[in-house]
Structure formats: structure tokens, C-alpha cells
Amino acid sequence: MTDKFIPFTVASHPAASPVFAPHTAPAAPAPSAPQPLTPPPINPGPATPELSLVRDGDRVTMIRVRCTCGMVHEIQCQY
């Protein structure tokens, strides 16, 4: 290395200081208190599955099953 070498730093080149100014991250927000975990509201169905028949005269045309979760399943009967 020669004596003429001057390393490039902010102090050695004042015009470059705005470009090489250190950036700091914004302050992080304070952590909030944890919220208690609560399950979503449940729309309970019947305690046991319900079964009903839809008739056309003496013939059963549909079987309707209401699940304990609240869903209704309809089964079409074809003869």
C-alpha cells in the first residue's frame, strides 16, 4: 500500500454523508397483553341425530337426517 491511499469513509468524503447516513429501524410498538382464547359460539343441534321421512301417499320420497352438528342431509328416494 502506498502512503497516498485514503480509505473511503464518511469522514473522508463529507459530500457523501447523506447517502451513507445510517438508517435506524422505527421503534417497535409495545407488546399488547395476550387475549384469552375463547372458542367461537356453537350452534348446537339436537343431542341425537333426528331422522324424518317425507312421504307422497304411501311412498317415501325423501329421508331427512339432521346431524348433531346441525347439518341437514336429504336423501332423495327413487323407485
Q: How far is CA 67 from CA 9, 24, 34, 45, 79, in A?
A: 74, 58, 36, 7, 26
Q: Is residue 59 in some structural domain?
A: yes
Q: What is the span of the domain harbouring residue 78? A: 44-79
Query: Based on the structure, what is the number of domains in the chain?
Result: 1
**DSSP single-letter state for residue 27:** P
Q: Is residue 19 in some structural domain?
A: no
What global pTM score does this model have?
0.42
Q: Is residue 10 in some structural domain?
A: no
Q: Is the pLDDT of residue 39 over 90?
A: no
Q: Is residue 28 in some structural domain?
A: no
Type of residue found at 12? S
Q: Is residue 48 in some structural domain?
A: yes
Q: Is the pLDDT of residue 70 over 60?
A: yes
**Which grid cell sits at 15?**
459530500
Q: Is residue 76 in some structural domain?
A: yes
Cross-strand pairs, 75: 63
Type of residue found at 51? L
Q: Is residue 2 in some structural domain?
A: no
Q: What whole-number distance in Å separates Cα of residue 51 and Cα of residue 14? A: 86
Provide the pLDDT confidence category of residue 21 given band limits of 50, 70 and 90: low
Q: Is residue 12 in some structural domain?
A: no
